Amino acid sequence: MTVPVTKGAEDRKPGGRRREIRLDVFRGLALIFIFLDHIPSNALNWLTIRNFGFSDASEAFVFIAGYSAVLAYGRRIDDLGVPFVTARIYKRCWQLYVAQLLLFMVFTAQVAYTAATFNNPMYSEEMGIVRFFDEPHVTLLEAMLLRFRPTNMDILPLYIVLLLLFPFILLGLRRWPAGMAVLSLTAYGAANLFGWNLSTWPEGAWLFNPLAWQALFVAGAAAGLAHGRDWLRPWRRTALWLALLYLAFAFLIVLTWHSAVLESYVPTVVGTILYPIDKTNLSPSRLLHFLALAYVAVRLIPGDAPLLSWAVWRPVIRCGQHPLEIFCLGVFLSFAGHMLLVEWSGSLWAQTAVSLAGIGVMVAAAYYLSWYRAMEKAVSAGRTAKGEGGRA
């Protein structure tokens, strides 16, 4: 028997509320940009946002994670209670943790097999898994503790830590928003001033310092709680112009990184204030750049903007609706693409073909996941209706 699937059902939340499609668009773009950025020597990653300002797709991913967490859990506390919602959040943490371990094992096997097949140890060194072959027992333990991670596997551990803290963040924002903001900014300032961070094994620190990046996650959560309310309404025109000016300034600074002539025009005092533009501790220049970018995007693209219904966005939206699965797939595909460019051809045509093929696989996987999710919901609804009919 064929189970009917209501058209557009997958785009609705429980209770009939429509999804915030802009979130799916921006998250889908972030996932695609992360995939492109993870392929070394890839011309197409010049099209990603990291080449037009101080921030990159990582900031978008973390901010949207905070926003989405509020939409997923924040509004259920009043109905289901804090203990149950907290349990659901920690269940999600466990799912992310298992995904990280599975990603580690499969990615390590992928890199090791490629290195052996092509007799090229560069792959193991480049992807940071050499230690696994020297001390596999210690490496596995450290990977389980989230202290050992191959290249390109840093953002999920950050998300796990932030989601573990989310029940406290959510309660703080709901009951003491000013106090939560002060606490978040204090931790952010300590990370930048004193370099406080979590350690990794065998040496070093987290690429995404949780003490710093929590500020962006908290900002996203606060925006989620304020969904539909414009805090800056009295100053919205001024805020928009300031944001646009800062984005233009950042773009001009980025241009100087590629031209010694342009760089010579940057005043010394500007460089002293601006640098270093640190990703690990989310330096203020990066944080402000993303917040400006997000504000401009929200102002210029309202939730009912006609362009959001354009067919070109549908594949992007599908990717954005399955962030965990598509991110993990993107990690595997980015290394496969890197291998093809090294072993096959590094030409511009090859870079374009590899990038587009990878995006195509991600989109196909996203459509499959959406179809399967819709079928599961339809089957579940059919069983429920059948059970109620039988009781009647």
Measured in degrees and rounded to the nearest 5, phi and psi for residue 308 equal -70, -20
Record the tokens describing residue 335, joined without a space.
Answer: 């290394």
Amino acid (one-letter) located at 337: G
Task: Match 């009951």 to its residue by tokens.
Answer: 175
Burial class of residue 378, CB neighbours in 10 A (0-12, 13-18, 19+): middle
pLDDT tens column, 332-387? 999 999 999 999 999 999 999 999 999 999 999 999 999 999 999 888 777 666 66
Angstrom distance (rounded) from CA 291 to CA 82: 30
Closest CA to 93 of 171, 143, 166, 23: 166
Residue 216's pLDDT is: 98
Task: Match 């204090």 to its residue by tokens.
Answer: 186
Angstrom distance (rounded) from CA 168 to CA 206: 22
**What interhelical angle do 21-37 and 323-343 show, nearest 10?**
30
Bridge partners of residue 199, in order along the sequence: 205
Contact 225/173 with Cβ under 8 angstroms?
Answer: yes
Residue 281's pLDDT is: 97
Residue 378's pLDDT is: 86
Which residues does the chain have with pLDDT short of 50?
1-10, 14-16
Record the tokens describing residue 329, joined without a space.
Answer: 């797939």
Angstrom distance (rounded) from CA 131 to CA 243: 44
Residues constituting the chain: 392
Distances (CA, A) of 271 to 4, 8, 193, 261, 280: 61, 50, 18, 15, 19
Record the tokens describing residue 364, joined without a space.
Answer: 């196909």
Contact 203/150 with Cβ under 8 angstroms?
Answer: no
Model confidence, pTM: 0.91
Angstrom distance (rounded) from CA 34 to CA 364: 17
pLDDT tens column, 189-240? 999 999 999 999 999 999 999 999 999 999 999 999 987 666 667 778 899 9
SS3 (DSSP) at 81: coil
Residue 1's pLDDT is: 36
